[in-house]
Structure 1
């Protein structure tokens, strides 16, 4: 049973429960809605809530638990003897899922249902799946094919059980709500309590998501450091991962990546902060209404351009221009991919983050502060420098922090504009890379998830998280200091 069919059925049950519960409540008082404890709509909403909320909760819980159950079943059925040389159980389980999905929804689905390929060998089935668009990490073997068939059958059975259970819970909830829909039933209290719970859950999602991200990174980082010394990770100046089959021990020092991240981010902020702040001051204090109505949306368009477009701009235009006009004549390098290229383009991308937020903060400074400064004889520029900017500093710091966080987490501009070389160098016209680029590269492809070369991505991510947290703490300190002074 497809999830889309289940959701459509739930919508129909919820609508039917709304109409029936509302009608029964009105009928229980002889058609006089004034005798009801609550408005008629609350009885209808109570019917919909009782029908939908438990059913949707069961649906979500089932969809989260079912893949874990199926993966556990696959692992218990497959033994280590069926693993291809150099492979891992996680990769084999992934192949089982891919084959099952190919047999379920791919071009071969109807043929397998009809039994047309009952006598086909695993190699023939594998070639058919690959031609149908199913990517396999290793040649298909009989144990993997058998496990995929079992996975497919079990998954379909569980989906039917899930659909029946979810719809049954919805019907039972609707029936209970309809039975309770009488004139004396406090439907409004129940609905408002339910809405309060919904608001609390919504408010908790951000907190729970952050906690989940942190915990996942902590566990995987701990697994990484159990296989790789943390001293070599934090203090080694070489980044040279070696995956199985390529020979040599991996050197996973974060210092070159951290240096590239901070170097590129620094150049980007040097470009974005002055231009963005000066633009905000001009737009809020000097520009006329007509010019502001055109200039502000134009600047904000920069924030809507995809980062891959900025990366192509860096690769095709800015990089060759810097190489031919500055780097090559001065003997600083012959590569179009460089820290300066990525930093300049990233700085252009960050301008609207600083400009738009700073403009809103400056406009929020009370007009009385401007009038008081001008009344005491200060010029407009002195008022801006001595009164408006200090008063708006907490918001400006927040805008700069947002731009810094955006710069630290950028990937595509760095890939296309700065290259992928991990090195410690002061020359801004040399190719370097950042932490985010290496996180992507370490998690790309069919690699052993339990190897240090893959788990290092989580250690890199946790390091970025700590750096961003430190920036937030510093910004909070600055905001509190100046807010106490100017409020």
Structure 2
């Protein structure tokens, strides 16, 4: 049974539980709902929740644990001689999963189960059948790998069957137990509200757990990388020259410099323009102009970054090259830090403007009125009252724009190129950390070489860097906020 079908059955059981719980509550008081502790709907909701939620929780845990257990079992079937030169156990397991998925496709097309035993021993025929099913394998299939794929497929099917049995049994048990508790004296509303409170806490914990998971994955993979490549060379080397196969120089400084350089230019474009636009729209523009200008400005936020990248490649880059770089003799390429920074700054303008506008509008009108009552002009009120009061929120908006700039990839690829270098010339091609993370993980890669694992070290470094910026911003925000509270 597929997960989708099982989920649908659980939802049907939950809906049935709601109806049964509600009707039983009404029947227990012979239709006079005034004798119930709670409204009839709460009794139905209680049965529905105890039917569906434990079963879905079991499904979630099962789907997370089952692949780990199956892969641990199947991995032991792969012998060291089954791993080709230049390959790894992870790559072999990838082939096992692909072969198993191809077998599922063949089964869906009507291939009898008895034929799979023959195909496992005849790997040439298996490869031909898999190619017909759309699973192309470059090398011949090792018999041990084919056998491991068959076991993998069987274990997955068995796990799905047991999952269906366990989830349905738990749902039925929850259904019966909750229905048996339906009596006029049962505090259904209290139980349902407590249950929902627990669900809300669990939902709010998703973000925290996700963050912890991201950090742990980066830390463990980075630790694996530093076991293969010296941390001193990574953090102190000024050369980035990856070579798959060995002999790489993986210094982070050229990438970090390009990231900071492009982001700084982007913020120099976005922050002044965005803040001035926000101040004008919130303090000076009339309602009619504001109703047109603000949506028009926010349209920029909805344009995909790849479109900005094409704009940088075809328009801004050639313009800066022909009108600035070449006449000044400081560059001859349309791909440059300046190109990517300017276009990225244009993309960030609505982030700064829209958020700052909302923050400025949230400043109490009493502060403005008090300033005007003391004889201050409108510009003096904006500079000395409104802007300082809104500064903590504006700093947050700028930080959001900075994070967006640091994480941007497509504009940098098309606008700044992919050259990792240390240079002060803004009209030279450079690259950023995010671009190299993508390039190192593109294609058929194995997570066992420093050239691939370096992507996680780059990601962890970028994470620590942005975390430091946030801590610094919190310090600044608190310092200024104390002056206006």
1:400 maps to 2:398: yes
1:416 corresponds to which residue?
414
Q: Relative to structure 1, is the Cα distance of residues 324 and 113 closer, same or farther in structure 2, using a 3 angstrom cutoff? A: farther
Q: CA deviation at 1:110?
A: 3.1
1:441 corresponds to which residue?
439
Whole-angstrom CA distance in 1 between matches of 2:32 and 2:296: 59
Whole-angstrom CA distance in 2 between matches of 1:305 and 1:70: 43
2:64 corresponds to which residue?
64
Identify the match of residue 365 of structure 2 among 348, 367, 383: 367
Deviates more, 1:140-149 or 1:296-305: 140-149
1:156-235 to 2 correspondence within 5 Å? 156-235=157-236
Whole-angstrom CA distance in 2 between matches of 1:15 and 1:471: 49
Whole-angstrom CA distance in 2 between matches of 1:114 and 1:208: 45
Runs of at least 5 residues in structure 1 that lack an aligned partner in the other structure: none
Task: State whether residues 319 and 417 of structure 1, in contact with CA within 8 Å, keep that contact through their aligned partners in structure 2.
Answer: yes
TM-score of the pair, normalised by structure 2: 0.96
Deviations 1:33-79 (A, max 9, x none): 11112211111011001100110011111111111112112211111
2:11 corresponds to which residue?
11
Runs of at least 5 residues in structure 2 that lack an aligned partner in the other structure: none
Q: Relative to structure 1, is the Cα distance of residues 97 and 408 closer, same or farther in structure 2, using a 3 angstrom cutoff? A: same
Deviations 1:132-160 (A, max 9, x none): 44354644322222221221122112111
Q: CA deviation at 1:89?
A: 0.2
Total equivalences in the alignment:
484
Q: CA deviation at 1:129?
A: 3.2
1:452 corresponds to which residue?
450
Whole-angstrom CA distance in 2 between matches of 1:128 and 1:407: 48
Q: What value does the CA root-mean-square deviation take over the aligned residues?
A: 1.9
Q: Relative to structure 1, is the Cα distance of residues 322 and 221 closer, same or farther in structure 2, using a 3 angstrom cutoff? A: same
Whole-angstrom CA distance in 2 between matches of 1:339 and 1:390: 33
1:328 corresponds to which residue?
326
Moved segments of 4+, more than 6 Å? none
Deviates more, 1:219-228 or 1:57-66: 219-228
Whole-angstrom CA distance in 2 between matches of 1:366 and 1:123: 76
Whole-angstrom CA distance in 2 between matches of 1:452 and 1:143: 28
TM-score of the pair, normalised by structure 1: 0.95
Q: CA deviation at 1:470?
A: 1.1
1:54 maps to 2:49: no
Q: Relative to structure 1, is the Cα distance of residues 236 and 138 closer, same or farther in structure 2, using a 3 angstrom cutoff? A: farther
Deviations 1:220-242 (A, max 9, x none): 21222222211111110011111
Q: Relative to structure 1, is the Cα distance of residues 60 and 182 closer, same or farther in structure 2, using a 3 angstrom cutoff? A: same
SS at the partner of 1:226?
helix
Whole-angstrom CA distance in 1 between matches of 2:429 and 2:94: 36
Whole-angstrom CA distance in 1 between matches of 2:254 and 2:184: 72
Deviates more, 1:199-208 or 1:251-260: 199-208
Whole-angstrom CA distance in 2 between matches of 1:272 and 1:15: 51
Q: CA deviation at 1:377?
A: 2.6
Whole-angstrom CA distance in 2 between matches of 1:133 and 1:186: 57
1:485 corresponds to which residue?
483
Whole-angstrom CA distance in 1 between matches of 2:294 and 2:155: 57
Whole-angstrom CA distance in 1 between matches of 2:308 and 2:136: 31
1:47-446 to 2 correspondence within 5 Å? 47-105=47-105, 109-111=109-111, 113=113, 115=115, 118=118, 121-130=122-131, 132-134=133-135, 136=137, 138-244=139-245, 248-446=246-444
